[in-house]
C-alpha cells in the first residue's frame, strides 16, 4: 500500500483544499492529513483560525479522499511522521517548493502540487473584510 501525507491548516475549507486532497490521494492508496493544531497555528505560524482544530478535523474526516487526520504540533515532526506512518510520498502546495526536499533523505518522494490559483483562505478573508467596509 502506498501511503501519502500532506500538512496544512485547512481553515475555511474551500475547493482549492479539495483539489489538493484529491490530487494527493491520486498519488497513493492511503492519505494522511496532518492538521495544524490551534496552538501551532497561533504560536508558530502566527495566525488565528476561524474554525477550531476539532471543527477543521471533522470537516477533513468527512472528505472521501482523506483516510486519517493527525495533529500537526511542530515543524519538526515531519521526519518522525514519515517513519511512524511508513510514508512513501510527502505532498504539499508548490508555494513551499524546495523547502521540504530534505525529506527525500528520509525515504519519501516529495511532491509540490500547484495551488488552485483563484482561491485561498487569505483571499476569502480579504474579500469578507472588504465587504464589511462597504456597509
Name 67's Cβ contacts closer than 8 Å, sequence gap at least 6: 30, 31, 32
- Looking up cell 492519505, which residue turns up? 31
What is the C-alpha separation between 125 and 122, in angstroms, rounded?
5
Q: State the catalytic residues.
A: 45, 47
C-alpha cell at 71: 495533529
SS3 state at 121: helix
What separation, in Å, do the N-terminal and C-terminal C-alpha atoms of the chain show? Answer: 53
Name 15's Cβ contacts closer than 8 Å, sequence gap at least 6: 116, 119
SS3 state at 55: helix
Amino acid at each position: 500500500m502506498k501511503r501519502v501525507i500532506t500538512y496544512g491548516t485547512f481553515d475555511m475549507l474551500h475547493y482549492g483544499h479539495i483539489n489538493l486532497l484529491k490530487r494527493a490521494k491520486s498519488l497513493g492508496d492511503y492519505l494522511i492529513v496532518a492538521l495544524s493544531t490551534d496552538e501551532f497555528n497561533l504560536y508558530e505560524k502566527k495566525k488565528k483560525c476561524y474554525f477550531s482544530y476539532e471543527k477543521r478535523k471533522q470537516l477533513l474526516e468527512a472528505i472521501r479522499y482523506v483516510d486519517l487526520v493527525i495533529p500537526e504540533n511542530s515543524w519538526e515532526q515531519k521526519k518522525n511522521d514519515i517513519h511512524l506512518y511508513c510514508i512513501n510520498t510527502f505532498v504539499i502546495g508548490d508555494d513551499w517548493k524546495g523547502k521540504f526536499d530534505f525529506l527525500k533523505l528520509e525515504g519519501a518522494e516529495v511532491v509540490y502540487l500547484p495551488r488552485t490559483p483563484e482561491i485561498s483562505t487569505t483571499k476569502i478573508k480579504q474579500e469578507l473584510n472588504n465587504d464589511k467596509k462597504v456597509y
